[in-house]
């Protein structure tokens, strides 16, 4: 981890790095420059440039570090700096961007316009990058249709230098076969150890905190299995709709947009065995074992283990919003909501359902993981004392907090028998760490990329295990002509999603 001064050499071994731009024993050096493809695009403006700025203002970029932007649009360095300056003014609070710091940051920026669809066009870019090509960080946030030509161009022009590393944004394919094709193309120019597949959820502080909660405390681990846990719920609810990403979303739907990546990564972190070390190989080895242990939801089980929905016009936070097809302008069979009942078929999780749901235009933005513990085996209290089983609520966003619901005695003389009540034990993360600036996910990921640490990036075997599981679900939906249920925007999805868990005597945490 960057913060822990760990890097992984190309054989996959963890090594201590030499800070300050030095070279580690395994030969992985800090990048001297980052090359951003899609540099003027939305992700770059909202996340990448502000993240690099955050790192720069905290002194985390080497002094001569360069940020080279490239995109199709004709611009010069000044034009790109103007785009960046505008992005910073929109996405960084004014008190965090003093003028001298902004000017220093803009001074790192340069731009080369490039049509990346033709690999022959890369020579001027390579010339511009010069010797920094040896250990360049390259970030592709372009349409996947440009991946292959970009990678060929990078390799042919010498930009895929011996220490260069490549970060890729999703979607990395739309199914297992297309994901393999992309991975093969990328691996023709970069070895796996220098491919950094981004799942921005892994960059979230709150998601990393899951590891701290599980493996930094003695309290939970002995109960973290089928003997102690009844079920797990993972909800990622969004209030937004299409946000103008019409064709992107329409081609993917909620299952591939959110479950294939973010939600399966959350599930893997919840369910994995303790890794021996916090390094790229150990952590990812454990995650992939979980992903491979997921029981297939296939033609025989999709009807009982999944629900899909699409939102109709309604209201979110008191504001009327149009339905999905109104936003799209045509009819559509794309799901904007999915709920699943998953199982991890191994010893630890035998018989424990993992319920997952995600959707657009739900009542509130909220990502949380609920660990529902089992009830105590026997109550010593009288009939008046109702016992609720313990529940751990890990709220990832919008605010981070961890709450353990426990039973406590109600104060009183108990003339009619002892009474118990559920009370929360709260860890209010923002207050506990009030003096620490909360960083956006990409800050962490960009720094790890620059420093060459792939721990928080997704390995090829993980992506492929994720796709294999998702493909079976989609095949099941198609083969059984799965019903797409409508739900009113601003509600928690189709009522069938409630029935999915109620059949097991469970209710979604809301
Ligand atoms: C992206 C999806 O990966 O994650 C979007 O493509 C979704 O559809 C977004 O809105 C959610 O991310 P976050 O960080 O806002 O939870």
How far apart are the C-alpha atoms of 1 and 444, rounded to whole Å? 9
200 tagged catalytic = no
Residue pLDDT, tens place only, 107-140 = 999 999 999 999 999 999 999 999 888 899 999 9
Q: What fold is seen in the domain 7-169?
A: Rossmann fold (3.40.50)
Residue bearing the bigger pLDDT, 246 or 356? 356
Q: What is residue 172's predicted lDDT score, i.e. its pLDDT?
A: 87
Looking at the chain, the domain(s) classified CATH 3.40.50.720 span 7-169
Closest C-alpha to ligand 1, atom 9 = 258
How far apart are the C-alpha atoms of 418 and 481, rounded to whole Å? 54
Residue 13 pLDDT > 70: no
Residue 4 pLDDT > 50: no
Sorted by sequence, the CB contacts under 8 Å of residue 419 that are 6+ apart come out as 384, 385, 409, 410, 412
Nearest CA to 209 out of 438, 25, 495, 23 is that of 438
Residue 20 Cα to ligand 1 midpoint, Å, equals: 33
Closest C-alpha to ligand 1, atom 8 = 257
Q: State the average pLDDT over residues 188-215.
A: 94
Looking at the CA of residue 240, tell me the nearest atom of ligand 1: 10
Residue 7 pLDDT > 70: no
Q: What is residue 28's predicted lDDT score, i.e. its pLDDT?
A: 64
3 state DSSP class of 65: coil
Q: State the average pLDDT over residues 299-327.
A: 97
Q: Is the CB of 471 under 6 A from ligand 1?
A: no
Q: State the average pLDDT over residues 192-207.
A: 94
Q: Do the Cβ atoms of 489 and 313 come closer than 8 Å?
A: yes
Q: Do the Cβ atoms of 251 and 335 come closer than 8 Å?
A: no
Residue 201 pLDDT > 90: yes
How far apart are the C-alpha atoms of 372 and 392, rounded to whole Å? 6
Q: Label residue 502 by pLDDT band (50, 70, 90).
A: very high
Q: Is the CB of 257 under 6 A from ligand 1?
A: yes
Q: What is residue 15's predicted lDDT score, i.e. its pLDDT?
A: 30
Residue pLDDT, tens place only, 446-490 = 999 999 999 999 999 999 999 999 999 999 999 999 999 999 999
Q: For residue 478, what are its two tokens?
A: 């198609």
Testing ligand 1's pocket by substitution, the residue of 174, 200, 265, 311 carrying the most ligand atoms inside 8 A of its CB is: 200
Residue 510 pLDDT > 60: yes
Q: Is the CB of 238 under 6 A from ligand 1?
A: yes
Sorted by sequence, the CB contacts under 8 Å of residue 119 that are 6+ apart come out as 149, 150, 152, 153, 156
Q: State the average pLDDT over residues 264-286.
A: 97
Q: Which CATH architecture has domain 202-375+397-404+430-437+459-502?
A: 2-Layer Sandwich (3.30)
Residue 1 pLDDT > 60: no
- Angle between the N-to-C axes of helices 99-107 and 49-57, in degrees from 0 to 180, rounded to the nearest 10: 120
Strand extents, DSSP E, 328-483: 337-343, 353-359, 366-373, 391-397, 401-409, 420-428
pTM: 0.92
Residue 20 pLDDT > 70: no
Looking at the CA of residue 397, tell me the nearest atom of ligand 1: 16
Residue 199 Cα to ligand 1 midpoint, Å, equals: 10
Q: Is the CB of 368 under 6 A from ligand 1?
A: no
- Give me the sheet containing 420-428, strands edge to edge: 420-428, 401-409, 391-397, 366-373, 229-237, 353-359, 337-343, 306-312, 484-488
Among 200, 262, 305, 343, the active-site one is 262
Nearest CA to 334 out of 324, 343, 345 is that of 324
Testing ligand 1's pocket by substitution, the residue of 262, 359, 365 carrying the most ligand atoms inside 8 A of its CB is: 262
Looking at the chain, the domain(s) classified CATH 3.30.360.10 span 202-375+397-404+430-437+459-502
| Cβ atoms within 10 Å of 54's Cβ, excluding its own | 23
Residue bearing the bigger pLDDT, 433 or 157? 157
Residue 314 pLDDT > 60: yes
Testing ligand 1's pocket by substitution, the residue of 257, 395, 396, 400 carrying the most ligand atoms inside 8 A of its CB is: 257
Residue pLDDT, tens place only, 56-91 = 999 999 999 999 999 999 999 999 999 999 999 999
Q: Is the CB of 453 under 6 A from ligand 1?
A: no
Q: What is residue 24's predicted lDDT score, i.e. its pLDDT?
A: 41
Q: Do the Cβ atoms of 452 and 29 come closer than 8 Å?
A: yes
Q: Label residue 5 by pLDDT band (50, 70, 90).
A: very low
Nearest CA to 1 out of 468, 447, 500 is that of 447
Q: What is residue 457's predicted lDDT score, i.e. its pLDDT?
A: 97
Residue 113 Cα to ligand 1 midpoint, Å, equals: 28
């Amino acid at each position: 981890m960057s913060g822990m001064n760990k890097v992984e050499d190309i054989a996959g071994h963890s090594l201590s790095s030499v800070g300050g731009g030095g070279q580690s024993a395994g030969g992985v050096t800090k990048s001297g420059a980052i090359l951003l493809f899609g540099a003027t695009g939305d992700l770059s403006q909202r996340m990448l440039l502000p993240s690099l700025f955050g790192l720069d203002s905290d002194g985390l970029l080497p002094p001569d570090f360069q940020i080279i932007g490239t995109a199709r649009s004709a611009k010069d360095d000044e034009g790109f700096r103007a785009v960046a300056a505008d992005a910073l003014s929109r996405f960084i609070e004014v008190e965090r961007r003093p003028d001298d710091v902004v000017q220093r940051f803009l001074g790192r920026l340069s731009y080369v316009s490039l049509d990346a669809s033709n690999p022959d066009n890369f020579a001027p870019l390579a010339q511009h990058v010069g010797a920094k090509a040896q250990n360049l960080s390259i970030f592709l946030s372009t349409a996947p249709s440009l991946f292959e030509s970009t990678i060929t161009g990078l390799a042919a022009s010498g930009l895929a230098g011996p220490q260069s590393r490549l970060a890729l944004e999703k979607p990395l394919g739309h199914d297992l076969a297309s994901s393999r094709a992309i991975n093969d193309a990328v691996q023709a120019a970069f070895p796996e150890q220098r491919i950094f597949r981004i799942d921005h959820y892994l960059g979230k502080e709150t998601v990393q905190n899951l590891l701290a909660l599980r493996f930094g405390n003695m309290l939970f681990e002995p109960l973290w299995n089928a003997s102690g846990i009844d079920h797990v719920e993972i909800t990622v609810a969004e209030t937004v709709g299409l946000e103008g990403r019409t064709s992107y979303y329409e081609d993917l739907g909620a299952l591939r947009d959110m479950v294939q990546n973010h939600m399966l990564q959350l599930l893997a972190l919840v369910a994995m065995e303790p890794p021996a070390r916090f390094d790229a190989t150990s952590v990812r080895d454990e995650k992939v074992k979980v992903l491979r242990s997921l029981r297939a939801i296939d033609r025989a089980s999709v009807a009982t283990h999944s629900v899909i929905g699409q939102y109709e016009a309604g209201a979110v936070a008191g504001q009327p919003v149009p339905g999905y097809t109104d936003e799209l302008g045509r009819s559509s069979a794309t799901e904007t909501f999915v709920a699943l009942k998953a199982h991890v078929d191994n010893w630890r999780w035998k018989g424990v359902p993992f319920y997952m749901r995600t959707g657009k235009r739900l009542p509130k933005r909220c990502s949380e993981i609920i660990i529902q513990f089992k009830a105590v085996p026997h109550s010593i209290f009288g009939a008046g004392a109702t016992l609720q089983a313990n529940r751990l609520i890990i709220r990832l966003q919008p605010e981070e907090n961890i709450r353990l619901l426990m039973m406590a005695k109600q104060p009183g003389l108990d003339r009619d028998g002892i009474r118990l009540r559920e009370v929360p034990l709260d860890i209010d993360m923002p207050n506990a760490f009030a003096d620490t600036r909360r960083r956006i996910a990409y800050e962490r990921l960009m720094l790890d990329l620059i420093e060459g640490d792939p721990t928080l990036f997704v390995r090829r075997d993980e992506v492929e295990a994720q796709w294999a599981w998702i493909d079976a679900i989609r095949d099941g939906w198609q083969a059984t002509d799965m019903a797409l249920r409508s739900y009113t925007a601003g509600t928690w999805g189709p009522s069938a999603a409630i029935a999915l868990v109620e059949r097991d005597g469970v209710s979604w945490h809301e």
